[in-house]
């Protein structure tokens, strides 16, 4: 009721509308400035739109591609990986998904990553460093469909392992494609077994499919062996080791995520 009277009063003294508007505007600007400040350090959290179907977690799409011919030392893995966008609802997910090409249509040596917001698709991230991943190798032609089924299961919380899932990766390589799903605690066997079983079900994998679990610490050790002289290995070595030698690629890309 009070509001109504105030509104009437405003109508009578028309010009004051402007004056009343300005402090609000400056408040708004202030809020925007604060947002900007936050943006520089941390991205503003996305929220589901009204009426949209919220997801259990927010997620971020990332894309990375190995750039051939560039000297490795100048580019780090972190620089090479690009954020596409974050979403909080099913509708927002589809908006991004329908505006990106499918993994099967990617060319060259590239990866899509879909990780929970705040977790970088890197071994070094706090959420990943004790973790590992299930890896499934696919023959060419299957990546798009398997990737879709994998991420839909992840977004829909079909894995039922609490907070354990970190994200998923699809890696397009020379002769085959690889999909993987990352979890927080590599030593938690109940969790990894459950993830494996869910993967089998949602990807409709034949019983003889080989699934490999790899801890991120093993991946790091592996790279350390290959490049013992590099201190900053997690960030920049990967390309050094690979070079552009496609024949070695078959051996080296065992690790789906680390190779750019």
Query: Which positions lie near another protein, rule CB under 8 A?
Result: 47-56, 63, 82-85, 87, 90-101, 106, 110, 136-139, 141-142, 145, 148-149, 152-153, 155-158, 176, 202, 204-206, 208-210
Q: How far is the CB of 93 from another protein (least distance, A)?
A: 8
Q: Which is nearer to another protein, 183 or 230 (CB)?
A: 183
Instruction: Give the whole-angstrom CA distance, residue 49 versus residue 35.
Output: 18
Q: How far is the CB of 104 from another protein (least distance, A)?
A: 10
Q: How far is the CB of 175 from another protein (least distance, A)?
A: 10
- Residues 96, 88: contact at Cβ < 8 Å? no
Q: How far is the CB of 164 from another protein (least distance, A)?
A: 12
Cα-based torsion angle of the residue sequence 245, 246, 251, 254 in order, rounded to the nearest 10 degrees: 110
Instruction: Give the whole-angstrom CA distance, residue 185 versus residue 161.
Output: 11
Q: Which is nearer to another protein, 60 or 128 (CB)?
A: 60
Instruction: Give the whole-angstrom CA distance, residue 59 versus residue 88.
Output: 7
Q: Which is nearer to another protein, 118 or 217 (CB)?
A: 118
Q: Which is nearer to another protein, 44 or 248 (CB)?
A: 44
Nearest one of 73, 80, 72, 74 to 244, comparing CA atoms: 72
């Amino acid at each position: 009721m009070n509001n109504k009277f105030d509104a009437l009063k405003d109508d009578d003294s028309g010009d004051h509308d402007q004056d009343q508007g300005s402090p609000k505007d400056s408040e708004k600007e202030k809020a925007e400035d604060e947002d900007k400040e936050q943006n520089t350090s941390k991205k503003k959290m996305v929220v589901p739109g009204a009426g949209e179907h919220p997801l259990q977690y927010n997620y971020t799409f990332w894309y990375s591609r190995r750039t051939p011919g560039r000297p490795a030392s100048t580019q780090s893995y972190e620089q090479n990986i690009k954020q596409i966008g974050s979403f909080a609802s099913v509708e927002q997910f589809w908006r991004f998904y329908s505006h990106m090409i499918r993994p099967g249509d990617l060319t060259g040596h590239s990866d899509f990553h879909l990780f929970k917001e705040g977790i970088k698709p890197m071994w070094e991230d706090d959420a990943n460093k004790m973790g590992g991943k299930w890896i499934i190798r696919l023959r060419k032609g299957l990546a798009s469909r398997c990737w879709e089924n994998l991420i839909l299961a992840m977004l829909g919380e079909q894995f039922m392992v609490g907070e354990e899932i970190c994200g998923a990766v699809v890696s397009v390589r020379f002769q085959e494609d690889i999909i993987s799903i990352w979890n927080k605690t590599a030593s938690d066997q109940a969790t990894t077994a459950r993830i494996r079983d869910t993967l089998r079900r949602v990807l409709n994998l034949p019983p003889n499919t080989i699934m490999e679990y790899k801890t991120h610490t093993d991946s790091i050790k592996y790279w350390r062996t290959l490049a013992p002289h590099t201190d900053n290995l997690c960030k920049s070595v990967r390309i050094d080791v690979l070079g552009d030698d496609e024949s070695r690629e078959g051996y080296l890309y065992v690790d789906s995520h680390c190779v750019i």
